[in-house]
Each structure stands twice: as C-alpha cells, then as structure tokens.
Amino acid sequence: MAVTGERISHVEWPGPAIRVPQSPSTHAAAAPPSSRGNVIALDRERVRLAGEGEPKAQAWLVTRLLPRVRRIARAFLKRNADADDAAQLALLEILRSASTYRGEASVEGWAKCIAVRAVLRFAQEERRRDRLIDRNDSGEEETAPSDDRAAEALPRELRAYLEELPEAQRNAVLLHHALGHSIDEIAEMTEVSPDTVKSRLRLGTAALRKKVQQDIAIGRRRSR
C-alpha cells in the first residue's frame, strides 16, 4: 500500500496463508503458477475471507478496488465531498457483498457493477436533494478544478453540457467515454438491453456535439 497519504494503487496480500481449493478450473490448466484460474481461485478465497470478516482480507479488498471505485465516483459527481462519500458507500457495498462473490469473473469485474450501481444511486439522490434545496455550485462547496487545457477550450464547462442531457443518456455517455465500459457491460450495470444502451449513447453523444457546435456558432464563451 502507498504510505504517504497520497494514492493507494496496489496492495500485496497481507493476511494469513491461503490454501487454494482444488477446483476443476484450477486443475484444468494443469495449475500453471500464473494461470488465470489460479489467480481467480486465490482471489475468491481472499474475498471469501473478507466476507467472513477477516480484517486483513477486508483491507486487501478495499485497497485493491479503491482506485477504480474512486474513478467511478469522480466521473459521476462534481463536488469533491460527494465523490468521496459516493466512493465510500460503494466500497462499503462491496464489502457487504463480499460473501456473494463466486469467482465467476475477476474481482474487479464483479466489483465494478456493484460500485457503478451504488454511485448511480448516490448521484440520483444528490440530484433530487439539489432540486429540493436549490443548491448552487457557486456556494461553499468544493468542486473539481477545471484545469484540463483541452476541456478549457470548450465554450462552457464540460459538466454544464452533461447536466443538460437526460439522466439515462448522461449515465451511458459517462460509463462509456469516462470509464471505458462496453455496451454489454453498461447494459448489465444499468439493467437495460444493449440496444437501449446503444440508443442512449447515440442520442447523448449527438446532443453533446450539437450543444458544443451551437455554442461555438454563436460565439458563446464561458464565464471565468
């Protein structure tokens, strides 16, 4: 684990010895040390231990998934406090679901669905709360800095364009372009058909383009 309070990117297994159960998948590959089956079997045992409440296994699981989960939360939430909260809720959800991991996919593949759903729920609740109290981003809340030079070239803040999209289209665009998920993955995460995802993505992408082009055409400039 990184130790200076900056970024945790990776953690070695710090817990007790694990004997990997001899499953058909581990036998199938004649158990070469680096086989994917072996790694998944080992991970399955670690996640199982986490689900049983083993503290080191829980620390290992959270540390391993933390960068990915934070990325998801940052993509969906503008305010830093919201992104932090959403990431923590998603990680807690993953810990609570650890006992359900069956090793059918990688730990990351299993966890990202849980994390995306948790973050989407959080973002939806925040949006509803914002509407109720008419919260204004220019207030005291800290938001992500827009120091990206490419995004600065846009007539308005990127988030402003995203805000104008219907929620389903915005989610599809963020999951695909900001997080790199495939159509099928997004369909699974959002529990709709791949065709629906394609349609939302197409409409959302076209709407974003149109809004940017319109702003450029009328010479609109963001307020500094």
Partner 1 sequence: MKASTSSEDRWAAIVAREARGEALTREEDDLRRRFEEEHPEAADERGLWEGLGRLGDPRGGEAEMSDEAMLANVLAKHRSAPVRARTKPLLRRGVAGAFAGLSLAAALVLAVAAELVGPFGSPPPEEKRPESIEDPRGPEKKGFVGAPPVDAAEDAGVDAAVSVEEAVREEAAAAPDVAPPSLRPEDSRRGEAPSKEGRPSGAHAAESADDLLKSAQVHLGEGRTASAIEAYKRLLARYPGSVEARVALVSLGQLSLGGGDAAGALAYFDRYLAGSGPLGMEARYGRIQALRRLGRTGDELAAIDDFLARYPDSVHAPRLRARQGANP
Span 28-57, contacts to partner 1 by CB under 8 A = 33-34, 38-39, 42, 53, 55-56
Helices (H), 98-142: 107-133
Touching partner 1, residues 50-89 (CB under 8 A): 53, 55-56, 58-59, 62-64, 66-68, 70-72, 74-75, 80-89
Touching partner 1, residues 114-133 (CB under 8 A): 122
Total chain residues near partner 1 (CB under 8 A): 83
C-beta closer to partner 1: residue 17 or 132? 17
CA contacts within 13 A on the Cβ side of 121: 11
Q: Is 92 in the site for partner 1 (CB under 8 A)?
A: yes
Which residue of 104, 137, 148, 167 would you call a contact of partner 1, by CB under 8 A? 148
Q: How far is the CB of 192 from partner 1 (least distance, A)?
A: 20
- Torsion over CA of 201, 145, 94 and 195, rounded to 10 degrees? 0
Residue 159 — left, alpha, or beta (φ > 0 → left; ψ -120 to 50 → alpha)?
alpha
Residues 89 and 115: their CA atoms lie apart, in Å, by: 8
Which residue of 37, 44, 48, 95 would you call a contact of partner 1, by CB under 8 A? 95
Q: Is 21 in the site for partner 1 (CB under 8 A)?
A: no
Residues 60 and 66: their CA atoms lie apart, in Å, by: 10
Euclidean distance between the first and the last CA atom of the chain, given in angstroms as a whole number: 39
| Numbers of helices and strands, H then E, in the chain | 10, 0
Q: How far is the CB of 193 from partner 1 (least distance, A)?
A: 19
Which residue of 104, 141, 164, 195 would you call a contact of partner 1, by CB under 8 A? 141
